[in-house]
Structure 1
Amino acid sequence: MDLGWLWWLGAALILGVVEMLTVDLLFLMLAGGAVAAAVAGLLGAPFLVQLLVAAVVAVLLLFGVRPWALAKLKSTTPDAKTGIDAQIGRTATVVADVTDRAGRVKLSGEVWTARNEQRGTVLPAGTDVVVVRIEGATAYVTAPETPVDPSQPYGPPAPGY
């Protein structure tokens, strides 16, 4: 008895492991083709037929099932913000007076260099502020009740500027 189907099964397992690392559903569809080829091999089909079955099933899965499965996966999985994106909108505490040129805030347990988004005002130590954006290692903050005008990315000009 030919045990070539075991190679296809091994390939399917390897592709399944790669899929777990990427979560793109590409390697899962290829693994489906390998499983189909393993079934064909188990039924006694010659290698060329197994190869053809693997290719046809993988292509059908890639173009028939994958788009639907990706859409379903993305609609049920929330976008998790990480890194800098996760800090925007968070509340921070001023630890050293924040102006439009200097200051420090404590954000998520870390002390960050900070700048006031609103020019000409000082946010005193102990004030809670909201992170508006981050550039490099500097958090741009504003007082929670201060609306930020999106047409003026650096806030209104201060008197005397």
Structure 2
Amino acid sequence: MAWLWWLGAALVLGVIELVTVDLIFLMFAGGAAAAAVVALIGTPLWVQVVVFAVVSVVLLFGVRPWGKRLLERSTPDTLTNVAAHVGREATVLIDVTDRAGRVKLVGEVWTARASRPGVVLPAGTSVRVVRIDGAIAVVEATADTTLYP
């Protein structure tokens, strides 16, 4: 009957791994599955716990680094949050200077400022986001924009 508990633990740990995707809980699930096999044979509880610990440690330090490298190689880097806005184009709504202005970036209105001092980007100008400082988009004119000081 103990093998059912180990199998249940392996399933729960597998589900937790689906949420975290860090390959840690998957290694513990493998240890629990190994303990379930040993429990099915009829070994005492202390042997089951030792098998769980040994298999988990071997998987953590032997298999996880290889699996992690494989996962990182096959997963594309996806920029999120403000990092995803850097390099995107925006449209100036209110003249942008090195101190203030407003742009429309991906359907949202952002406070903006020019990346170079003394430059004024007039309303309607197409700009590119250079970086995000807090909640302010730092922008520069695209190549086809004419500027006035």
Same fold by TM-score greater than 0.5: yes
Aligned pairs for 1:10-159 within 5 A: 10-145=8-143
Give the unaligned 5+ runs of structure 2: none
Look up the SS of the partner of 1:72 in the other structure: helix
Aligned-residue identity in percent? 64
Give the unaligned 5+ runs of structure 1: 147-158
Query: How far apart are the structure 2 equivalents of 1:63 and 1:139?
Result: 43
Query: How far apart are the structure 1 equivalents of 2:120 and 2:2?
Result: 74
**Alpha-carbon distance, 1:145 to partner:** 2.7
Look up the SS of the partner of 2:78 in the other structure: coil
One-letter identity of the residue aligned with 2:75: T
Over 4 Å off, 4+ runs: none
Query: How far apart are the structure 1 equivalents of 2:95 and 2:140?
Result: 12
Query: How far apart are the structure 2 equivalents of 1:102 and 1:29?
Result: 52
| Aligned-pair Cα RMSD in Å | 1.3
Which of the two has greater helix per residue? 2
Look up the SS of the partner of 1:145 in the other structure: coil
